[in-house]
Chains A and B, each alone.
Chain A
Amino acid sequence: MTATTTSGAIVFTDIVGFTELTDAHGDDVALALLERQEALVRDALPASGRVVKELGDGLLLWFEDPRHGLETCLGLQRSFEAEPDEPMPLWVRMGLHWGCPRRRGDDIIGRDVNLAARIVDLAGPGEVLCSEAACQAIGPMPGVEFEALGPVIVRGFAEPVALFRAFEPTRQIELQQP
């Protein structure tokens, strides 16, 4: 099979503490949590974005336009934050990278996909972390700032990777107020 290369934004999502939640509250609660996440993600996806595949408690998303990718991620974090914490809170972390993976059917594979998967490992609940390549592809966005977290050693990669935390300053202020 000949694989084609395509450029775009690769996003991994991950439900924080899913293993612990499943262990403590059972499979039915875990399944309901996954369905809540999936429904919100599918509602939020623009025409240029799609769910590549489900990965247990996470999703691999693909966006042709990196700006759409970041807008969707930040919008989803607002949606997750607004969700009720009962019966279980939906705390999701996200990693976004821009690259040129190989297409294999509907799937995408390659170094850039692996890197995006590692980026999400360093994110906290409610956060969207971006690679430097993603920030450059996205460019300035009104209402969005990028805080440099510095070169980070990422498992499996020879060179440190510059990471940034994307955030909406107005939303941070809202969260800090009663």
Chain B
Amino acid sequence: MARLHISNKSGRVRVNAASGADLTVDGAELRVDADGTAHVKGKSKTIDIRCSPGTDLVIGTASGSVEVIGQVGAVKVSCASGSIEIEHADEVDARTASGSVKVGMCEGECRVVCASGSVRVGGAGRAAISAVSGSISADDVGSGELKSVSGTIEVGANGEGRIGVKTVSGTVRITVPRSTAPTLNLKSMSGRIRRDVTEGGDYEISVGTVSGTIEVTCR
């Protein structure tokens, strides 16, 4: 599997994984190690890269945004202040201090650390997402742990595994497939709790919040 390490100080990074594409780089230097790992190092310009699908990516920027188009392998992205957008990956580790994070589909673990921006995940085998004040929205989640201090957390559980949510003051909304019967462990010190599902032992949904409201409903 091809590996690509990309760093850029302040410019935008755009990676397009397209079928049949040779590795091409615009806006930065390209160096390839003996083991096949490609290194792209930019300074402040926008970097545009084309690579083959399934490539593993490691991307670091200080303030530029990152966009990954197409299906790639494991992606690790860190930005001090930029936003991150990944269309489809096998695994994701995305970290940004102030930008937002958007992941279309992650087949395996989707780990996101975000301070003030919002997080949106279209689907994930497993979600490990934390935000401080931004909202979290994750659909089609197999299992996961989600944390936010004050942002709203919305989870669409697909019923495959445990969902754990912790928040201080944010509202928590979880939907489950109508055909499933989860075990609910819901706790809010002062917020309202609404449970409108058939309870059983198929999987666990555990929510803890200090003052936020909790809703678990069917879809």
Contacts and interface: CB of A to CB of B under 8 A. Distances in A.
21 contacts: A16-B130, A17-B149, A20-B133, A20-B150, A24-B169, A85-B166, A85-B210, A91-B149, A124-B95, A124-B130, A150-B59, A150-B78, A151-B60, A153-B60, A155-B62, A163-B78, A175-B145, A175-B164, A177-B162, A178-B183, A178-B206
Interface string A143-178: 000011111111100001001010000000001111
A125 B147 contact: yes
Nearest to B78: A152
B168 A17 contact: yes
A84 to B, nearest CB: 10
A145 B134 CA distance: 30
B173 interface: no
Contacts of B95: 122, 124, 149
B9 interface: yes
* Among A87, A124, A155, residue most surrounded by chain B Cβ atoms (within 10 Å): A124
A41 B141 CA distance: 35
B189 A153 contact: no
The contact size tier of chain A is 20 to 34
Interface of A: 16-17, 20-21, 24, 85-89, 91, 121-125, 127, 147-155, 160, 163, 165, 175-178
Given A21-B149, A88-B168, A124-B113, A178 B60 contact: no
Nearest to B185: A178
A127 B133 CA distance: 18
B162 A152 contact: no
Given A152-B60, A153-B8, 5 more contacts: A89-B166, A124-B95, A125-B147, A150-B5, A150-B59
